[in-house]
Amino acid sequence: MNNSMSEKKGLLNKNQENGYVSEDMLRMIVESAPNGILMTDEKGKIRYLNTQIEKMFGYTRSELLGQHIEKLVPERYSKRHVKYRKNYIGKHETRMMGSGRDLFAQHKDGSEMPVEIGLNPVKTDRGIVVIGTIVDITERKKTEALLFEREERLREIMDNTTDAIIVFDDEGVIETYNREAHKLLYTDNAKIKDIWEIVTPENRDSFSERLRRARDGASTTDFETVMIGKGGKRVSVGISLGHMDQGNGRFIVSVRDISERLILRNKIVDLEKSQIIGKMSEGFAHHMGTPLASMLLRVQMLKEDVPDIPECEGVGDKLDSIERQILYGQKVIQRLLRFVGRPGSEKQAESLSELLNESVEIIRPLLKKNRITVEMNTSEGLSVLADSNLMHLVFSDTLMNAVDAMPEGGVISVTTYGDDGGETAEIKISDKGCGIAPETIPHVFEPFYTTKPAGKGTGLGLSVAKRVIHDHEGEISISSKVDSGTTVLIKLPILSVEARR
Tell me what the mean pLDDT of segment 434-450 comes to.
77
DSSP assignment letter at 234: E
Residue 377 C-alpha from the chain's centroid: 31
Q: Quote the pLDDT of residue 341.
A: 45
Helix H or strand E encompassing 48? strand 46-49
Task: Report d(CA 497, CA 381) in Å as an integer.
Answer: 10
Q: Quote the pLDDT of residue 185.
A: 74
Q: What b/e string do you get for 283-317 counting C-beta neighbours within 10 Å, with b at 16 or more? A: bbbbeebbebbbebbbbbbbeeebeeeeeeeeeee
Q: In the chain, helix, strand, coil percent, each to 5?
A: 45, 25, 30
- The answer, yes or no, to whether residue 376 has pLDDT greater than 80, is yes
Q: How far apart are the first and last CA of the chain?
A: 130
Query: Which pLDDT tens digit goes with each residue over 310-348?
Result: 777 777 777 887 887 787 667 656 654 543 444 445 688
Tell me what the mean pLDDT of segment 403-407 comes to.
89
Of residues 483 and 245, the one with the higher pLDDT is 483
Query: Which pLDDT tens digit goes with each residue over 392-402?
Result: 878 888 898 89
Q: Quote the pLDDT of residue 449.
A: 56
Percentage, residues of the chain above pLDDT 70: 77
Task: Report d(CA 155, CA 212) in Å as an integer.
Answer: 27
Q: Quote the pLDDT of residue 485.
A: 92
Helix H or strand E encompassing 400? helix 388-404
Tell me what the mean pLDDT of segment 459-471 comes to.
75
Sequence-distant (6+) residues with CB within 8 A of 315 are 306
Question: Per DSSP, which regions of 346-436 are E strands?
Answer: 348-351, 372-377, 383-386, 410-418, 424-431
- Distance set, CA 127 to CA 7, 19, 64, 119, 130 (Å): 21, 12, 20, 16, 10
CB neighbour class for 125 (10 Å; exposed up to 12, middle 13-18, buried from 19): middle
SS (H, E, C) 449-470: CCCCCCCCCCCCHHHHHHHHHH
Of residues 78 and 104, the one with the higher pLDDT is 104
Q: What b/e string do you get for 128-144 counting C-beta neighbours within 10 Å, with b at 16 or more? A: ebbbbbbbbbeeeeeee
Q: Quote the pLDDT of residue 411.
A: 93
> Is the Cα torsion angle 109, 112, 116, 121 positive or negative in sign?
positive
Rg of the chain (C-alpha set): 38
Percentage, residues of the chain above pLDDT 90: 13
Mean pLDDT of the chain: 78
Identify the architecture of domain 142-257 in CATH: 2-Layer Sandwich (3.30)
The SS3 assignment for 248 reads: coil
User: pLDDT-derived band of residue 6, with 50, 70 and 90 as boundaries?
Assistant: very low
Name the CATH topology of 2-136: Beta-Lactamase (3.30.450)
At position 250, the amino acid (one-letter code) is R
- The answer, yes or no, to whether residue 499 has pLDDT greater than 60, is no
- CA nearest 374: which of 390, 388, 392, 362? 362
Contact 14, 105 (CB under 8 A): no
Q: Quote the pLDDT of residue 284.
A: 55
- The answer, yes or no, to whether residue 56 has pLDDT greater than 70, is yes
Helix H or strand E encompassing 368? helix 364-369
Say whether domain 347-501 belongs to CATH 3.90.50.10. no
Q: Quote the pLDDT of residue 500.
A: 56
The whole model's pTM is what? 0.37
Contact 339, 377 (CB under 8 A): no
- The answer, yes or no, to whether residue 233 has pLDDT greater than 50, is yes
Q: Quote the pLDDT of residue 428.
A: 95
User: pLDDT-derived band of residue 492, with 50, 70 and 90 as boundaries?
Assistant: very high
Please provide residue 178's backbone torsions phi and psi, each rounded to the nearest 5 degrees. -100, -175
Fold: same for 2-136 and 347-501: no
Q: Where are the domains of the chain?
A: 2-136, 142-257, 259-344, 347-501
